[in-house]
Amino acid sequence: MATKPSGLPDRIQHYIGGSFADSIGKETFEVLEPTTNTPYITCASGQQADVDAAVAAAKKAFDEGPWPRMLPRERARVLYRIADEVAAINDELAAIESFDSGLPIRQAKGQANRAAENFRFFADLIVAQVDDAFKMPGRQINYVNRKPKGVAGLITPWNTPFMQESWKLAPALASGCTVVLKPAEFTPVSAQLWAGIMERAGVPEGVFNVVHGFGESAGDALVKHPDVQLVSFTGELGTGKIIYANCAQNMKHMSMELGGKSPAVIFADADFEAALDSTLFGVFSLNGERCTASSRILVERPIYDRFVEAYAERAKRIVVGDPSNPDTEIGALVHPEHYAKVCEYIEIGKGEARLVAGGGRPADLPEGNYVEATVFADVAPDARIFQEEIFGPVVAITPFDTDEEAIELANNVEYGLAAYVWTSNVARAHNVAHAIESGMVWINSHNVRDLRTPFGGVKGSGLGHEGGYRSLDFYSVQQSIHVTLGDVHTTRFGATGYAENDLGLGGPSA
């Protein structure tokens, strides 16, 4: 087992109403370290009673506390302090995240800064926020009264867990909601850091709460809790479907960021080396455990053989190893269950396509969740490794002959999260991008985020779009207020005689 990062608590607890707490019934589970799968820390396992306590704390803070009532500028100051606190623990967080999730340390290093930026970004947005006001001259003034929705349930996955948590916490808190966070059970450790960050930044008691535990118990209780007004979920499509059905019982607002099987479409006129670098990084960074991974590469026939050969050569040289080693490019997959799933897909792939790099556990790493960078070529569109999300360092490469065929292949899956188009033909780049069914497209680039743009998928990749003001809209009610300026014109029911033209029920629209 790698050396445990310093400063870890002796156990992971819930954080409810400003205090750490074990589960009321004392339930716990063991967290594994992915390079040896040794249990290394015990985590509280939340049940209904723990979720009830956390939601009650969040509801009290929402109904009675200062947070939803603060001026945007006051909340923004607190969010800025959260960002500073997050940035200050960059090294500590990177060590914890790398140890707990198997992420290579160099890639874990940027996570705190990205998380901090999320808080700064939403702090700036709420201060600059404008809402609509409309005038019907001399008759009515109408405006939007924006207010926080209430207690938000935030359910997050295990890939880059702290960063994913920040992506929900920042807009939820910025909007004035109070929250109950349910982190992923594979990687609960970094979520323990939030409590201290929130306290030092001056977030009032009860505004931020965490309940750890399994999806089927803690997550399910949170989704179904009647006092939780909205649910923001990131995770697998199958889980998303269950949560969607459960939210329907109480007509909850929800936002879903789900899986992907994102295509990179590379035309013969593309910058070959740039496309090669970018698609290698796109699927093998973050251990391939990346929702927007370019896990299907579609290559135009004239450059297909050259591309496959060059791609496989580079993939074979990718360094797989101990996540704490700065030279490591692919660390250990998060958990033995996930490792087994990825290995099963590799075996399926061997029967479906041509293996040109990798194909299993590296010979020099006999234990832990290690997988070589694995490349399949000549993958048919109906192959399972073409259709299904593997969420590991495995890529499927497929040739195409025409723009139409490229678009058809790109769209031929149930997901629609991201896409990447590589070409030097400007018109083709836009036309292909427009025709691809995905929430986001990068042209001649891998995934570089602009926090102002919509983030989210179509088809099986999600519901709703977050990012920029869209996130604030999700966490806010936008109540329309209509005020009469002059005499109110009312059709006089029950009074004698009114003219036909008095029956204009809504009146003129402007």
Chain positions contacting ligand NAD, by CB under 6 A: 155-159, 164, 182, 184-185, 214-216, 219-220, 223, 234-236, 239, 242-243, 257-260, 291, 389, 391, 417, 457, 462
**Is 206 or 467 the residue whose CB approaches ligand NAD more closely?**
467
Looking at the DSSP bridge assignments, the partners of residue 398 are 298
Smallest CA-to-CA distance from 155 within 183, 133, 179 is with 183
C-alpha span between 217 and 202 (Å, rounded)? 31
Least spacing, CB of residue 235 vs ligand NAD, in Å = 3
- Length of the chain as a residue count: 510
Residue 505 three-state SS: coil
**Is 156 or 398 the residue whose CB approaches ligand NAD more closely?**
156
Q: For residue 357, how far is the Cα from the chain centroid?
A: 30
Smallest CA-to-CA distance from 1 within 43, 32, 47 is with 32
Q: Is residue 318 packed enough to be buried (19+ CB in 10 Å), middle (13-18) or exposed (0-12)?
A: middle
Least spacing, CB of residue 299 vs ligand NAD, in Å = 23
C-alpha span between 285 and 392 (Å, rounded)? 10
**Is 65 or 259 the residue whose CB approaches ligand NAD more closely?**
259
Least spacing, CB of residue 293 vs ligand NAD, in Å = 8
Task: Kindly give the pairing relationship between strand 19-21 and strand 14-16.
Answer: antiparallel
**Is 148 or 457 the residue whose CB approaches ligand NAD more closely?**
457
C-alpha span between 152 and 176 (Å, rounded)? 10
**Is 255 or 423 the residue whose CB approaches ligand NAD more closely?**
255
Least spacing, CB of residue 47 vs ligand NAD, in Å = 13
Q: What are residue 179's phi and psi, to 5 degrees?
A: -135, 155
* Cβ neighbours around 435 below 10 Å, total: 16
* Cβ neighbours around 489 below 10 Å, total: 11
C-alpha span between 160 and 107 (Å, rounded)? 10
Q: For residue 488, how far is the Cα from the chain centroid?
A: 48
Are residues 173 and 144 in contact, defined by beta-carbon separation less than 8 angstroms?
no
Give me the sheet containing 28-33, strands edge to edge.
11-12, 38-44, 28-33
**Is 249 or 478 the residue whose CB approaches ligand NAD more closely?**
249
Nearest residue relative to ligand NAD (C-beta)? 215
Looking at the DSSP bridge assignments, the partners of residue 320 are 330
User: What is the residue type of 123?
Assistant: A
- Residue 257 is among the residues annotated as catalytic for this protein: yes
What is the 3-class SS of 450-483, one letter each residue? CCCCCECCCHHHEECCECCHHHHHHCEEEEEEEE
End-to-end C-alpha distance for the chain, whole angstroms: 70
Is residue 80 within a helix (H) or strand (E), and if so which, with residue range? helix 72-88
**Is 234 or 423 the residue whose CB approaches ligand NAD more closely?**
234
**Is 393 or 462 the residue whose CB approaches ligand NAD more closely?**
462
Least spacing, CB of residue 371 vs ligand NAD, in Å = 16
What does R_g of the chain's alpha carbons equal in angstroms?
25
Residue 427, token pair as written in the block: 């018109």
**Is 59 or 212 the residue whose CB approaches ligand NAD more closely?**
212
Q: What letter would DSSP give residue 440?
A: E
Least spacing, CB of residue 103 vs ligand NAD, in Å = 13
Least spacing, CB of residue 463 vs ligand NAD, in Å = 11
Are residues 389 and 415 in contact, defined by beta-carbon separation less than 8 angstroms?
yes
Q: CA geometry: angle at 286 spanning 281 and 289, to 5°?
A: 110
**Set 33, 165, 185, 257: catalytic member:** 257
Least spacing, CB of residue 426 vs ligand NAD, in Å = 29
Least spacing, CB of residue 27 vs ligand NAD, in Å = 15
Which residues form the catalytic set?
A: 257
